[in-house]
Structure 1
Amino acid sequence: MSSQETLVQAFPDKPTPRVSYGNPFADSCIKHINETFKASRVYLIASFSLTKNTSYTSSLQAALGSKLVKTCVGMTPHTLMSEVLEIVDDCRNLEIDCIVTLGGGSLSDGAKIISFALANNVHTKEDLYKLPHIGPTTLNLPAKPSRIPIICIPTTLSGGEYSVYAGVTNHLTHEKIQFSPPLASPSLIILSGEIACSTPLEIWLQSGMRGVDHCVETLSSLKSTKEVDQSVLKSLKCLISGLLLSKSNAGRSQEEEASARLDCQLGIMYAMLFLHRGVDCGASHGIGHMLGPIGKVNHGQTSCILLPAVCKFNAIHGGVEILERQKVIRDTLWGIPEARFVFEKRGLIEEGADLGDLIDAVVGELGLKRTLHEVGVGPEMFEKLAEASLRDPFLRTNCVPIHNKEELLEVLGMCA
């Protein structure tokens, strides 16, 4: 076996998740099943599209060999409660001692809830509702911590695998329930640029811009810390460079594209310290939460459209400290060679372009949509969108808190 594996803790003060990269994903998976978890009965949950369109699932099945007890192919997006309960019963009956996911965020959320449910002898949706979940009276319900270890091999940049929260959708009411600790994060995350290349380029770039949104709103926050800022600046460098190279290398060098996508994955790992330390996001996230369902726009697209406008709003209405924090971000972006090339090609001047201009230039270079008009959201929807957005707590935690509809309409007008 190759000795190229790098194994690190995702967070400095928390033993899990650990993150592995550098080895072929299947080799790393079976190595840790044998040596770290000493597991013998593995349940694999694999992406339907990945299984249908690539050989990655079969390669992993072959590596797991006799330790693989069962494979479940595909879960419905947004993680349906009915499917989770079926797999819980499966795992209980099969006496599973390790769960592996190969795919996106719905699978990792599902696995986290499955392990939590098994630890608490859950059989029905009523049992699930007795576990701690976000709500006025439900956050501190008694529960045993997750026990069965999870290995996640992600194919997207959602970052959900780093979290100790997991969402599931009630298949009858369509209500989304967010489960909370003592639900545990996965024990191990295996990153693979090769597998990441199976994700369609546009989806990859959009989800990467969501990560950039995390970075910029964290670095803009007056509540962030030096430790978080350092990690998130590192993330921003990885993500901007990795996304631009993912775009420019697409269809050319498979090795270079895989390297760029791995850089993006590492960028997400560095970014997640903001979540671990409890630094709240800002208005781009807050408005985006409402633009998604109202305008039928996915989260990556909302970041592409809203983040430049929110940065401009913050620069106009913020004080000296906010402008200083934006300057740190601007200087970092100009220091990334791939980004500087884009800025200069588009005629931007280092002393004159504001942070919103720079982010908008990156979005344009990636070929992603940059305005509300492009996603079919016209001025006639702005009032409804503004009124709905005011209910989101991230409007108040924006570095320039937003309290009224007029301020929101100003932001929406900037990205019309």
Structure 2
Amino acid sequence: MRSGFYSYPNTQRIVYGVPFVQALAQEVQTVDAQRVFVLASGSLTRHTDVVDQLRGVLGTRCVGVFSDMPAHTPRTAVVKAAHEALNARADLILTLGGGSITDAGKMLTLCMSNAIDSPEDLDRLATRVHADGRVERPEFNAPSVPSTVISTTLSAGEFSALAGCTDTTKGHKENFLHPKASPRTVILDPALTVHTPEWLWLSTGLRAVDHAVEDLCSVNTHPMSEATSFQALRLLGRGLRAVKKDPSDLNARLDCQLGAWMSIIGSSAGVHKGASHGIGHVLGGTAGVPHGYTSCVMLPHVMRYNHSVNAEQQKRVSEALGEPNKPACDLLAELVAELGLPSTLREVGVPADMLDLIAHNAMHDRLIHTNPRKIHGPQDVRSILDAAW
């Protein structure tokens, strides 16, 4: 008999299809925030009036804006922003941007409640994954300051308590997890996403597809995420194509946002993802490849690698994408091509002489060790990388 449990995430509200200024005004009143510290996308700050609109809503409640967070959320920038938020006596962290900004918001709340004074201090909070798959999660304080996310991409980190942060001295992206670290409120305004560059919107959409696919094909599927992942693929499959055809289609953009939300439910259910995510983390931290591009390149090849052990589950992916008689790996590769996204490691700037290092570092990512087809060592990772190069 099938058995298990489902833990609802700490997030209390998800507001969708509402203009962000309206949703934010209501949120600030609801939580009675008096000192809001903002983490904003640099491109939105420089090239749009969105941050000015945000300041207009917050008024004197805005006690600071940090807009210098690089991709992949490096430790140095996180600690610098956390110092500014502490000095401002922030009682709410508000993020406006994509996945790296969202991760940074979660990291700030952890830094502020755990006396993190330097990048090295984050060693105390980082999850450690050994090459044999053993995972060590340290215990530390829950965030004492809540966060709210206004998301502009589709990587779906806003729906998770997990944060990724890069140790640039080691060239390695690490996980930081506290169950209370998920944002209190998530705001999804499709109109705001028209400012997101097409490549970023579509590629992070593929990242959400990756979430749903690896959950459907997992070694420990869950009835909740089986349903939500299937619907996520339906929404994302049609929504991404529609936005590619007409970037002004706000209904399609909302389909994508809702699909990204549904794609991540498996994380709350404890569903293990696999090597596409595991290798993707390393491609980001070690080789600087954007989050979404890692999924575009790796997911079809990981599916081919795993097909011998989860062919029936992969058929569900094909069904969700509308072609049940076609191999899922081929459908995913076709979707990447149709959206005009990169499909090889060469295209995203990964040199051949880095593949061994990536394979070695991947063995220290926990999701390599939960891949449906067992990965015995760096040589197996290298075989997948070679197929993708």
**TM range, smaller chain:** 0.7 to 0.9
Which has the larger displacement, 238-247 or 393-402? 393-402
Q: In the comparison of the two structures, how many residue pairs are matched?
A: 379
Give the C-alpha shift of residue 116 in structure 1. 2.7
Q: What residue is the counterpart of 2:150 in the other structure?
A: 153
Q: What residue is the counterpart of 2:62 in the other structure?
A: 68
Distance across 1 between alignment mates of 2:199 and 2:85: 35
Asked if the contact 2:173–2:285 (Cα under 8 Å) also holds between the matched residues in 1, the reply is no
In the alignment, is residue 265 of structure 1 matched against residue 265 of structure 2?
no
Distance across 2 between alignment mates of 1:84 and 1:37: 24
In the alignment, is residue 47 of structure 1 matched against residue 41 of structure 2?
yes
Asked if the contact 1:308–1:360 (Cα under 8 Å) also holds between the matched residues in 2, the reply is yes
Distance across 2 between alignment mates of 1:404 and 1:260: 41
Q: What residue is the counterpart of 1:29 in the other structure?
A: 24
Distance across 2 between alignment mates of 1:32 and 1:112: 18
Q: What residue is the counterpart of 2:101 in the other structure?
A: 107
1:348-404 Cα distance to aligned partner (Å, 9 max, x none): xx64x3111111111111111223454466877766665655555434422222336
Asked if the contact 1:144–1:182 (Cα under 8 Å) also holds between the matched residues in 2, the reply is no
Asked if the contact 2:35–2:92 (Cα under 8 Å) also holds between the matched residues in 1, the reply is yes
Give % identity: 35
Q: What residue is the counterpart of 1:367 in the other structure?
A: 340
Which has the larger displacement, 147-156 or 404-413? 404-413
Q: Classify 1:227/1:177 alpha carbon distance in 2 versus 1 (closer, same or farther; 3 Å).
A: closer
Give the C-alpha shift of residue 122 in structure 1. 4.3
Give the C-alpha shift of residue 332 in structure 1. 1.7
Q: Classify 1:127/1:396 alpha carbon distance in 2 versus 1 (closer, same or farther; 3 Å).
A: closer
In the alignment, is residue 59 of structure 1 matched against residue 59 of structure 2?
no
1:305-354 Cα distance to aligned partner (Å, 9 max, x none): 32222223333x22xxx2221222212211xxxxx6xxxxxxxxx64x31
In the alignment, is residue 133 of structure 1 matched against residue 126 of structure 2?
yes
Aligned to 2:210, what secondary structure does the other structure show? Answer: helix
1:294-333 equivalences under 5 Å are: 297-315=289-307, 317-318=308-309, 322-333=310-321
By relative contact order (CA 8 Å, sep 6+), the higher-ranking structure is: 2
Q: TM-score, normalised by structure 1?
A: 0.80
Distance across 1 between alignment mates of 2:380 and 2:302: 11
- Which of 163, 167, 171 is equivalent to 1:166? 163
Aligned to 1:100, what secondary structure does the other structure show? Answer: strand
Which has the larger displacement, 102-111 or 150-159? 102-111
- Which of 402, 407, 416 is equivalent to 2:375? 402
Q: TM-score, normalised by structure 2?
A: 0.85
What is the RMSD of the two structures over their aligned residues, measured on CA atoms? 3.0
Q: What residue is the counterpart of 1:245 in the other structure?
A: 242
Asked if the contact 1:395–1:403 (Cα under 8 Å) also holds between the matched residues in 2, the reply is no
Q: What residue is the counterpart of 1:203 in the other structure?
A: 200
In the alignment, is residue 221 of structure 1 matched against residue 218 of structure 2?
yes
Distance across 2 between alignment mates of 1:119 and 1:26: 29
Give the C-alpha shift of residue 299 in structure 1. 3.5
Higher-Rg structure is 1
For residue 335 of structure 2, what is the amino acid of its counterpart?
A: V
Aligned to 1:79, what secondary structure does the other structure show? Answer: coil
Q: Classify 1:404/1:274 alpha carbon distance in 2 versus 1 (closer, same or farther; 3 Å).
A: same
1:199-228 Cα distance to aligned partner (Å, 9 max, x none): 110121111111111211111123111221
List gaps (5 residues or longer) in structure 1: 1-10, 335-339, 341-349
Give the C-alpha shift of residue 109 in structure 1. 2.2
Q: What residue is the counterpart of 2:191 in the other structure?
A: 194
Q: Classify 1:327/1:29 alpha carbon distance in 2 versus 1 (closer, same or farther; 3 Å).
A: same
Distance across 2 between alignment mates of 1:380 and 1:177: 23
1:1-35 Cα distance to aligned partner (Å, 9 max, x none): xxxxxxxxxx972351421112210111111111x
Distance across 1 between alignment mates of 2:347 and 2:295: 14
